Amino acid sequence: MKPRVLVACEYSGRVRDEFAARGWDAWSCDFEESDTVGQHYRGDVRDLLKQHWDMLIAFPPCTYLCGSGMHWTTRGLRDPKLTEEALAFVHLLMNSTPPPYSNREPNRCYQHSYLQTHSDNPAISVR
Ligand SMILES: C[S@@+](CC[C@H](N)C(=O)[O-])C[C@H]1O[C@@H](n2cnc3c(N)ncnc32)[C@H](O)[C@@H]1O
């Protein structure tokens, strides 16, 4: 059976298609329609988290998380609740099984978390 990967918060299909080309049962998911033809769930990724996935890659929105925008919050010009909610979504993804890999977090904490969890798995390599 093919390993299953869910590429969450992706509408471009770029990562999904790379995995599909390498023999994975690869799905992307986003509120938006996929830009390219492929296996895509249009809707909330939370609908899919209870399914079995061998890998979860996520590109959650970074608008209220990235360092380049946090000055709006720290200067009191943006509701901190927006960041709390964005972080809660990230934590939801990270606490799903298996933990996600994402390249959207500026300080790369997702990668660290992912590598710590999967560094002994020869099927997975992250450059
Ligand atoms: C910055 S974009 C990432 C784009 C991605 N790198 C790509 O190549 O398509 C973040 C995406 O997360 C999606 N998104 C946010 N919350 C979501 C959710 N709960 N379920 C599914 N998609 C979600 C948004 O619709 C948006 O397209």
Mutate to test the pocket of ligand 1, among 31, 56, 82 (most ligand atoms within 8 A of CB): 31
Q: What is the pLDDT of residue 97?
A: 66
45 lines ligand 1 (CB under 6 A): yes
64 lines ligand 1 (CB under 6 A): no
d(Cα 37, Cα 94) in Å, to the nearest integer?
Answer: 27
Helix (H, G, I), strand (E, B) or coil at 45: helix
Give distance in angstroms: CA of 22 to centre of ligand 1.
23
36 lines ligand 1 (CB under 6 A): no
d(Cα 101, Cα 103) in Å, to the nearest integer?
Answer: 7
d(Cα 94, Cα 88) in Å, to the nearest integer?
Answer: 10
Q: What is the pLDDT of residue 94?
A: 84
Q: What is the pLDDT of residues 45-97, one digit of tens each?
A: 999 999 999 889 999 999 998 888 889 999 999 999 999 999 999 889 888 86
Number of H helices, E strands in the chain: 4, 5
Domain residue ranges of the chain, discontinuous segments joined by +: 4-118
Q: What is the pLDDT of residues 3-27, one digit of tens each?
A: 999 999 999 999 999 999 999 999 9
Q: What is the pLDDT of residue 98?
A: 63
pLDDT at 108 over 50: no
Q: What is the pLDDT of residue 100?
A: 54
30 lines ligand 1 (CB under 6 A): yes
Angstrom distances, CA of residue 51 to CA of 27, 36, 121:
12, 23, 21
User: In this structure, what DSSP letter does residue 14 have?
Assistant: H
